Amino acid sequence: MIAVIDYGMGNLRSVQKSLEVVGAKVVVTHDPDLILNADSVVLPGVGSFKDCMSNLKELNLIDPIRKFIDGGKPFLGICLGLQVLFEESEEYGPVAGLGILPGKVVKFSRNISETKNGQLIKVPHMGWNKIEVKKKEPLFENIDVIAPYFYFVHSYYVVPKDKNMVATVTNYGIEFVSGIQYKNIYAFQFHPEKSQTMGLALLERFSNLN
């Protein structure tokens, strides 16, 4: 059973349906006991870092998330669910995160680079972009596509202190970390539930980690 954490933010139903498409049994919940007893947990998210942390605190979900991760079972963070794993964010802040991973969340500069036609790259970063895989096992193992494309919607990105946890990077004017893998934690800035075939393949591999 995969528990998708419902804290009032994020594409919960999209994540649920995508996991079910690949054959996973899913429950959407904010019940700490269901979360702690799940085989895997997914923390999705769209919105502000501050609101996310506030909602997690109000629902008494911070300790269950930490305990689940400490237990060693597979954990997947999506978009904001990646960012809140870190120590703090610049968004309306600094605002403290879960502090599970060392590092911070910063905003794209509005003048990060220019496109080929001379137009400034827009913030937020929205749409399809390719990733460069740094860690193939286990979620990207045997994927034949050299530079797979995934769907992004974000204005902030993570800066981990430990570069060994970087799983994927993406270029959007600058090269930024778009995915991490650390022990039992897998977390991505892009949205696999919106990324069609490649996204479903990633979710299927995550669902089979147990």
Identity of the residue numbered 208: N
91 catalytic? Reply is: no
Q: How many CB atoms lie within 10 A of CB 173?
A: 17
Contact between residue 33 and residue 66 where contact means Cβ atoms under 8 Å apart: no
SS (H, E, C) 95-160: EECCCCEEEEEEECCCCCCECCCCCECCCCEEEEEECEECCCCCCCCCCCCCCCEEEEEECEEEEE
Identify the CA nearest to 192 among candidates 210, 171, 178.
Answer: 178
191 catalytic? Reply is: yes
Identity of the residue numbered 183: K
Indicate which residue of 30, 125, 154, 191 is catalytic: 191
Indicate which residue of 88, 91, 125, 193 is catalytic: 193
Contact between residue 32 and residue 6 where contact means Cβ atoms under 8 Å apart: no
∠ CA(206), CA(192), CA(59), 5° rounding? 80
Indicate which residue of 30, 79, 88, 125 is catalytic: 79
52 catalytic? Reply is: no
Contact between residue 147 and residue 168 where contact means Cβ atoms under 8 Å apart: no
- Residues with a known catalytic role: 79, 191, 193
